[in-house]
Structure 1
Amino acid sequence: MPLPPEVHRTTSAFLSAIDASAPGLVEGLYLCGSLGFGEFVPARSDIDFVSVSAERPDRAALTALATAHETVRREYPRPFFDGFHAVRADLAGPPEHCPDLPCTRMGAFEEAGRFGVNPVTWHELVRHGVTVRGPVLTESEVYVDDAALRAFSHGNLSAYWSHLLGELVESPAEAGEPDAVEWCVLGVSRLHHLLATGSLTSKSGAGRYALTAFDSRWHPIVLEALRVRGSTREPSAYDGNPERRAADVIAFTAMVIESGLALGARRG
């Protein structure tokens, strides 16, 4: 499938910039995230990448990477071009053994970080990755461990999402904001899907899964999250009642966290 125009222009701009200042540095460029599932929503999606080099970047190469990313951020500030720069040996082992890497988050470059360095990225690369440059990655080159992926997802529910739920309970108005509706409802559903089926899915795929996996009482808030995700102009079932939308986001998030943690424990 051809890349969406926004993705093509951003990846082309990055590769042109880095090739001009550091020829041969980026041997492979791969996209993961929603693109790997055939899903890209220009107003909502980011461009998640992993680049591969033969050797660790030296000072000159780090400067070249910073300059190339600044060029992309200046010319095409959105969607964000976010990810990390690895060597092949990094991908061949568990993510937790990987050192800090040059990376970008929300378009901002840092020389050493861990954004995206986790089992989800490793699995997406080899099972759903989109190759822009270089050979297609295989499971002989990228470390995948389904048990580790499940454990990471279970831990994400018990740590990040449980903490976020507590914040929403204390500030319920924030739960009704469109971004929070999409992030929470589809985010926890995505993790539940992994724990229940053993496979990854996109955010919209997680919403479709939630419509079949959970009681129909939750359908309005799931459909609302999909409406926000799709950036459609369809009327909201919650128009005029933001308090009910916020309450449903909080209740749904709590329900899925509890269900996912129990599911993870049973299958762990």
Structure 2
Amino acid sequence: MPIPTEAQQVTDTFLAAIDHFAPGLVRGLYLHGSLGFGEFYADRSDVDFVALLAARPDSDALEALAASHRQVSRRHGRPHFDGFHVLAEDLVRSPMDCPDVPCAQAGVCQDAGRFDVNPVTWHELARHGVTLRGPALTEADVWTNDSALRAYTHDNLTTYWTGVADTLTEHPEEASSSEATEWCVLGVSRLHHLLATGTLASKSGGGRHALNVFEPAWHPIITEALRARETPGTASAYDADPTRRGRDTADFTAMAVKAGLALGA
């Protein structure tokens, strides 16, 4: 799958840097997230990656990884190159069994962390991954378990998103920006999509799912979230009343969380 120029530049910079600092360390590089669904917005999307290493990195290899990510950040800034570095043996097991691994997020590296080490990433790699180096990954190479993915999604709604919904109900002004609407409305919609259909979706895919399954009264705020993601420079129906956008976002988030939880784990 061809990837956008901005994403290609970021990944080319990383691979050239790591091959210079530690030849042979990175044997595979795979992208997931929005790029795996053919959805990418250079000013807002991240380049989400998983790198396969030849061996667990020692201190020299960790410094080589950090130096490579610093080079990416210096040269490109955005889009962020976010992800983690594992062994092939880690991918054939549940991410819950994966040890802490080197991670990178927004140009900051951790020698050991768990950023994006979760069932969603594993399933995106197996079913929607983009191969830039190494053999293409299949479900024989990457652990998948639909029941575990569903349970993880349900738990995400129960914990993180229920907390967000409660906060917004008390303080809807925190969701008055178009960016907050995009994050909340599309975030809960893609989780509802998975619980309703059993399949993964992009953020925009989650929004279009929401337009299909929720009452027309919710369509203005869903459409606003899609506008904010896909055409942020265009006029908004909420431009004259961002307070209403905050209330509608808060109300939708609370409704969609309850609807998703009602679908069961």
TM-score category of the 2 structures, normalised to the smaller one: over 0.9
Q: Kindly indicate whether the alpha-carbon contact (under 8 Å) linking 1:43 and 1:231 is maintained by their aligned counterparts in 2.
A: no
CA RMSD of aligned residues (A): 0.9
Q: Kindly indicate whether the alpha-carbon contact (under 8 Å) linking 2:29 and 2:50 is maintained by their aligned counterparts in 1.
A: yes
Q: Per-residue deviation at 1:71?
A: 0.5
Corresponding residue for residue 23 of structure 2: 23
Structure 2 stretches of 5 or more lacking a match? none
Equivalents in 1 of 2:80, 2:118: separation in Å? 19
Q: Per-residue deviation at 1:124?
A: 0.2
TM-score of the aligned structures, taking structure 1 as reference length:
0.97
1:145-178 Cα shifts (integer Å, max 9, x gaps): 0000000000000100111122223332111112
Note the 1:29-44 alignment, pairs <5 A. Answer: 29-44=29-44
Corresponding residue for residue 89 of structure 2: 89
Q: Kindly indicate whether the alpha-carbon contact (under 8 Å) linking 1:238 and 1:245 is maintained by their aligned counterparts in 2.
A: yes
Q: Secondary structure at the match of 2:77?
A: coil
Q: Per-residue deviation at 1:189?
A: 0.1
Q: Per-residue deviation at 1:243?
A: 1.2
TM-score of the aligned structures, taking structure 2 as reference length:
0.98
Equivalents in 2 of 1:46, 1:183: separation in Å? 14
Note the 1:1-268 alignment, pairs <5 A. Answer: 1-264=1-264, 268=265
Count of aligned pairs: 265
Equivalents in 2 of 1:145, 1:161: separation in Å? 23
Equivalents in 2 of 1:115, 1:179: separation in Å? 22
Q: Secondary structure at the match of 2:26?
A: coil
2:116 maps to amino acid: G
Structure 1 stretches of 5 or more lacking a match? none
Equivalents in 2 of 1:6, 1:46: separation in Å? 10
Equivalents in 2 of 1:163, 1:14: separation in Å? 36
Equivalents in 2 of 1:155, 1:232: separation in Å? 31
Q: Per-residue deviation at 1:262?
A: 0.7
Instruction: Report % sequence identity.
Output: 58
2:130 maps to amino acid: V
2:34 maps to amino acid: S
